[in-house]
Amino acid sequence: MKVLRTGKVRYTILAMLFAVTVINYADRATMSIAGDAVQDHFGISSVTLGYIFSAFGWSYLVAQIPGGWLLDRYGSKRVYGAGILLWSAFTMCQGFVGGFSMGTAVGLLFLLRLLVGISEAPSFPGNSRIVAAWFPTKERGTASAIFNSAQYFATVVFSPIMGWLVVTFGWEHVFIYIGAVGIVLGLLWTKVIYSPRNHPRVTQGELDYIEAGGALVDMDQKSAEAKDSGVDQLRAVKLLLRNRMMLGVYFGQYFINSITWFFLTWFPVYLVQERGLSILKAGIVASLPAICGFIGGVLGGFLSDSLLRRGWSLTKARKVPIVTGLLLATVIVGCNYTDASWLVIALMSVSFFGKGLGALGWAVVADTAPKQIAGLSGGVFNTFGSLAAITTPIVIGYLVNTTGSFELALAYVGASAVAAIICYLVIVGPIRRLDLDEMDGQDSAEATRATTE
């Protein structure tokens, strides 16, 4: 039997997405590692630190839909590449606020975190677009899980490094060095990323293979056409928000991201303030649950695609890992009932593994987004997820400040996992790709019926 040589350029593209997403999350996590030192340096409260944590989320949320629109209009390579360079520069700038007074420094940190959030807005919708363009359906779950698992890998690699930088050189250097790495990756991006038909090294065999498997290979070629296509962006958003399946996926992502943002912001602070670890040791210990999250993330995508190849429906193949993983994530609440540090880390590791296993939202978006508005659909999805970047740091900040402990905070994280399960089991229903023209026709028909009645 002749084996079809399909080529492997798509894996180079995926490796670039993974690397960029690693530094993306490292930039987001800089403040969580430096947070305790920043508190000591400026003498700010947990509530103030919570607001600084949340600044990223405010602008990231607001910029999601515009970011998705820019991706659809100008293509992933240009928009995403510009975002990498900008967010890295703004991260570096945070390393130079230490000489200002407390009030000015807090304002500058809040502003710079806002600018990082705006710049990073196209990143995950861009990841989703690029995966949808380069990978067939049966490989899309694994590809999406790999770039999504980069958030855990960032913690594994960079938490110990950033903790060492804080202790050895001071908290300012965390922002300077991580920002510099991002600028280097941003320049490399321009040499690696292309759309499938424009890539100088793609073979015709690989192009035919991914296109036959459902890859949207002409997505960026049609971006230029989309400028004059007459697609009403606001109406498209309205149609997405009126779809029950998409609403379930969107709200599910909000609750899943609530778990993510606890780990990205308050988890190292929890280890220092609640469990008495040093900043350096907290950075090292924080990498252990992240390793489990990374393993769970990759396994979730692999398991989902394996089930799909074995004949399971798309709905079951995606939902089984999601629900199973989120059930495991609820064990985080058990940390409230033990004083043993090793058991706390074990429970956190199981919880983060489960969250990784169940974090298949981006695969679902790549499976369901209407072809004409793949970037916009990802932007709406990430808008809901980004709400958690605002609410989680602030809610936990108030809970810790009010109660003096993290017990209610961990209960909040566990409840978020349960809520995400409910979204996928009760609201989402069958998972399928939506057609914008069909949705628009249904909406017009409903409007006509309402008028005649």
Going from N- to C-terminal start, the domains of the chain cover: 9-216+232-443
Listed in sequence order, the DSSP H helices in 310-433 are 314-329, 341-358, 361-368, 374-403, 407-422
Q: Is the pLDDT of residue 432 over 80?
A: yes
Q: Phi and psi for 13 in degrees, rounded to 5? A: -60, -45
Calculate mean pLDDT across residues 373-378.
77
Cα Rg of the chain (Å, integer) = 22
d(CA 267, CA 328): 18
**Structure-derived torsion over alpha carbons of residues 149, 151, 156, 158, reported in degrees to the nearest 10:** 150
Q: What is the pLDDT of residues 121-176, one digit of tens each?
A: 888 888 888 888 888 888 888 888 888 778 777 777 887 788 888 888 888 888 89
Provide the 10 A C-beta neighbour count for residue 204: 8
pLDDT, residue 3, reads 39
Give the DSSP H or E segment for 334: none
pLDDT for the residue numbered 286: 67
Q: Of residues 222 and 413, which shows the higher confidence score?
A: 413
In CATH, the number for domain 9-216+232-443 is: 1.20.1250.20
Residue with tokens 């705006």: 118
The pTM for the full model equals 0.72
Instruction: Determine the straight-line distance between the first and last CA of the chain, rounded to whole angstroms.
Output: 63
Q: Which residue has the tokens 């490094």?
A: 161
Where residue 443 falls among pLDDT bands split at 50, 70, 90? low
Question: Which of 387-391, 423-427, 446-450 reaches the highest mean pLDDT?
Answer: 423-427
Q: Residue 99: what pLDDT?
A: 76
> According to the model, what pLDDT value does residue 389 have?
77
